[in-house]
Structure 1
Amino acid sequence: MLLKTFGWSFAVTALGLVAAVFYGGWTGFGVVAILSVLEISLSFDNAVVNAGILKKMNAFWQKIFLTIGVLIAVFGMRLVFPVVIVAVSAKIGPIEAVRLALNDKDQYQQLVTDAHPSIAAFGGMFLLMIFLDFIFEDRDIKWLGWLERPLAKLGKVDMLSVCIALVVLLISAMTVATHAHQHGGVHVDKAQTVLISGVAGLITYLVVGGLSSYFENKLEEEEEREHEQEEAAAKSGKKVPAVVLAGKAAFFMFLYLEVLDASFSFDGVIGAFAVTNDIVLMALGLGIGAMYVRSLTVYLVRQGTLDDYVYLEHGAHYAIGALAVILLVTIQYEIHEVITGSVGVILIAWSFISSVIRNKRIAAAEGQGSSGDKAEVSSGV
């Protein structure tokens, strides 16, 4: 199971490290290894969230996610995206941007740093909306009950998450954006840029998320019909296969996953410039990390890990919220990528431990013959 799921990741790792040695010697090897670990640590929460969506898709679309999706993630976000943002921000052609990336690495880094406010605003708003929509939803299983119960009640107010996101964007534009960090340690007013980019991130979330929600609702209707069919089939001894997303429904969910992955990639791409200016080494390191994130997503789905450790999804979404805030803060202040990666790892590890404690409590209760309701067991926090 492990080799089948992570086989391609192992192969890409070996090829990537060998290519790094030929391209940049053992120094290049070390840089690529560091970038791979950086990408995995920053995107682990991405894998957890993706798994919650991917498990609703059929085997065909799961394979698409691991093939075409990987190409988009590796070549699109880790190679093409840094070139595109330089071309757009510097108002130069993509060919010139590639020339700068390969031949004038210092100038390339300067242009990417100067484009960071717009990148952070777009990605920050997209991720913030994911977190807000999650935290305002009333769920049967709650991790931090003292926080999630009152927020679930507030979530009954229509469009509350959008209003809060816009308020956060306005505050960011009037505070950190007025002294946005640029190359060389200077600070300039990027309020207009942050507002436009933030609104674009919000619109992107509403459009793509709205389409995915529409097809999720259709899936729920199919599941209700499936349940009725299972009850009828139980009498005749037949089994009804589970309903999973396919066709247009799966396509839009796949699109949602790719946009989500792109937003998660912002911090990894920007953080990579703190390690190297070399676009080739960056693509190799981040590409290896992206492969592991994809494989880890499928592993979580096939092993049913999210069903066994029910607070993992909560921890991942809290990490998303933290990352959104960090991205907005980095418009003005530099935050080391180690801090960014550690926040997500700590939150997910905490949720995992809480899930283990919950499972032990349920097992102990069952061992004592308890027949109480175990749909929601507090993690003790």
Structure 2
Amino acid sequence: MSETSTPAAGLFLGMISGTSADGIDAALVRFEAGAPTRCELVLGRTYAWDAALRERLVALGQGGDARSLEELGTLDIQTAEAFAAAAQALLAEAGVAASAVAAIGSHGQTVRHRPAGAGFDGRHPFTWQIGDGAVIAERSGIATVADFRRRDVAAGGHGAPLMPAFHAALLGSPAQDRAALNLGGIANFTLLPARGEVRGFDTGPANCLMDAWALRHLGQAFDADGAFAAQGRVDADLLARLLDEPWFALAPPKSTGREQFHLAWVEARLRGGERPQDVQATLLELSAVSIVQALRAQQPATQRVLACGGGVRNGALLARLAALLPEAVVETTAAYGLDPDFVEAMGFAWLARQTLAGLPGNLPSVTGARGLRVLGTVHPAA
């Protein structure tokens, strides 16, 4: 890829499984020629993980170790096969042939995220997303771009978040300061000032702790619309202990994951005897307060917050964010023609398009990398 070119028009397919590992989001996206600001979601779907495979991926993502190199290699291939199957299912439902798709952009599944400057040993920073792109290309018959985060980390960045360039292209406005808020397992902001550089960073937990607590106490993968949290009351002392986590005080650029914020982290801060619904209410408040504190610290004049990700289905969380931000409009990206459930998957379709054109996909002002970089490894269709 020695020369840059104009980004291609046509169909691209983006896929991601996020911190919560609650499914593989797949988005078929049609781009117009030239500028990256116009695209259409043709079809988006979420495909469930095999339960046993998800259990192992979540355990690894929370800091667990693979039992052997053989197991880790097998998980890499199993994950890739699940992504390839999701791509094939999406195209079948859309009635689109594989030959009509220019490329797949696959995020894969993060099993460890250890960037420099995030409270970890920074001598050998790395990030690892499994789901072999070569297998996806071979199974789907479509050129696949994978391993998007590693090049940014190699250049001294965090490798995350990677959506700000996409958010800036589609959601920025010269008339007001905006912030795109992704409510996945982890929450992250893209700050879109009317004037000035785009910035972005993780703020801490959005859904990951609430989901894990709901699974333990309800046997459900998530707290539907925050109903379980609504049965409880915020424990102010517990909230203070949770917010005392040093990671929250780190300045951007910063990123995190399930290996930082998990149930053992919560349990270490419990005193014993707390009602489960009160803990859930407190975890929701933790997400809301940490998000708002981060926004006020980094872009206090924000006029509009545009939310996406699975957390937009938690009405209690959105309502709490709106209550804590009376000076801003809090709404979802649906108001701007972007399905909140598939913004990230669409973003990885956009990143694949950038890579094939030899164009950068990171923003150094966001990740802290030494400069703009073309991201990902390209696996040809044949």
TM-score computed with the length of structure 1 as normaliser: 0.27
Tell me which protein shows more strand as a share of its residues: 2
> Which structure is richer in relative contact order (CA contacts within 8 A, separation 6 or more)?
1
TM-score computed with the length of structure 2 as normaliser: 0.27
